[in-house]
Amino acid sequence: MTFQTEIVSLNSLDYLPFLDENGIIDESLQGKIGVYAIFNQDKILQFVGYSRDIYLSLKQHLVRQPNQCYWFKIQTITRPSRTILEEIRQAWMSENGLVQNDEKWTQPIDAKLAMSETDKQEYKNLDEIGQIKFLKKVSRRIEETIQEQLKERGVHMEIRFNPKLKEEGLLDLKP
């Protein structure tokens, strides 16, 4: 048995605010499967992705790119199918001339990239345990910056980062 899903034009879908009046992402999206497009404050398309839990994906993108996540559009499907999700994603990107697969949207935040030359020199001169502690310190510093950006955006959701990844100098939401 096959299920056909109609691909809806991205331009025909309504813009939805990333955050509601309470500073949270619409929780009714939890567990929803589908394709989503993220737009900046000027409603310029920034990213197209798909997910088995749109809510968690939007939250992750908000943390990774807080100044680019103001609007989104979605098309949900009832059954998970990577083929269908990828077809919708590709159609939306083609429709809008978007070429992407930007790691800043899809990968954990690498705190090491924010290290100053002094930090890098200090890090290089530490033993393995010292390096882990140093990476955690740098990660916490970046986390504070992100939390401040989110606060400025009016976010009122709990944002918890995975503590294990901080040892590697990475920031990603706790599963």
Q: For 154, list phi and psi in degrees, rounded to 5.
A: 90, 20
Pairing of strands 71-77, 109-110: unpaired
SS3 content of the chain, % helix, strand, coil (to 5): 45, 15, 40
10-105: CATH, from 3.40.1440, 1.10.490, 3.20.20, 1.10.4160 = 3.40.1440
Radius of gyration of the chain (CA): 18
- Residue 2: pLDDT over 60: no
* pLDDT tier at 97, thresholds 50, 70, 90: confident
Express each pLDDT in 116-156 by its tens digit.
999 999 999 999 999 999 999 999 999 999 999 999 999 99
Domain ranges of the chain: 10-105, 109-171
pTM, rounded to two decimals:
0.89
DSSP-assigned letters across all residues of 100-146 = ---HHHHS-EEGGGG--HHHHHHHHTS-HHHHHHHHHHHHHHHHHHH
- Residue 1: pLDDT over 60: no
Express each pLDDT in 40-95 by its tens digit.
999 999 999 999 999 999 999 999 999 999 999 999 998 888 999 999 999 999 99
